[in-house]
């Protein structure tokens, strides 16, 4: 039972004080949990136009990319299984997101305020899975299957 609780905590999309204090920033200032399994937050002054989430990351936390105004494209690797609520909220310049894994769980309002979003790329064969998680607005206008 204790092991199950540890695993659930490890995969949580919520960022604790301990996470914030012990997080490790990559060369771009994106902060990951000490074990690298959770992407905690991105500095809203990130200058990159394209960011590739590190392979091995399991979770993109709640509001992780909130207000990253320069970000235009994000690529999410197969290892990510959970994208937290409002993960990309108010990323004004975000145009394209590539989600490589059909087992990803997506929290509520992941792209709220992403007015420039033009394309969400998902893997072939994952249409049914993603259609349940994305609103019709996103599905009908933005989804591309590759």
Pair type for strands 31-32 and 24-25: antiparallel
pTM: 0.86
Instruction: Give CA–CA dist 104/79, Å, rounded.
Output: 9
Output 58 or 136, whichever has higher pLDDT.
58
Q: What is the pLDDT, as a whole number, of residue 129? A: 80
CATH topology of domain 13-145: 3.80.10
Separation CA 142–CA 3 (nearest Å): 39
Closest CA to 62 of 33, 28, 39, 91: 39
Q: What is the per-residue pLDDT across 18-50, written as a single tens digit (0 to 9) for each?
A: 998 999 999 999 999 999 999 999 987 888 999
Q: For residue 62, give the DSSP letter.
A: T
Please check the confidence at residue 121 and state whether its pLDDT lies above 60: yes
Q: What ranges do the domains of the chain cover?
A: 13-145
Q: Is 98 helix (H, G, I), strand (E, B) or coil?
A: strand
The distance from CA 82 to its chain's CA centroid, rounded to whole angstroms, is: 8
């Amino acid at each position: 039972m204790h092991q199950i609780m540890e695993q659930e905590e490890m995969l949580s999309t919520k960022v604790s004080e301990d996470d914030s204090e012990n997080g490790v920033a990559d060369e771009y200032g994106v902060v990951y949990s000490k074990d690298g399994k959770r992407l905690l937050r991105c500095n809203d002054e990130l200058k990159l136009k394209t960011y590739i989430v590190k392979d091995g990351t399991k979770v993109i936390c709640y509001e992780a990319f909130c207000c990253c105004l320069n970000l235009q494209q994000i690529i999410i690797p197969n290892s990510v299984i959970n994208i937290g609520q409002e993960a990309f909220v108010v990323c004004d310049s975000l145009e394209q997101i590539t989600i490589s894994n059909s087992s990803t769980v997506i929290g509520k309002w992941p792209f709220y305020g992403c007015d420039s979003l033009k394309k969400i790329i998902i893997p072939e064969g994952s249409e049914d899975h993603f259609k349940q998680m994305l609103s019709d607005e996103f599905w009908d206008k933005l989804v591309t299957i590759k």
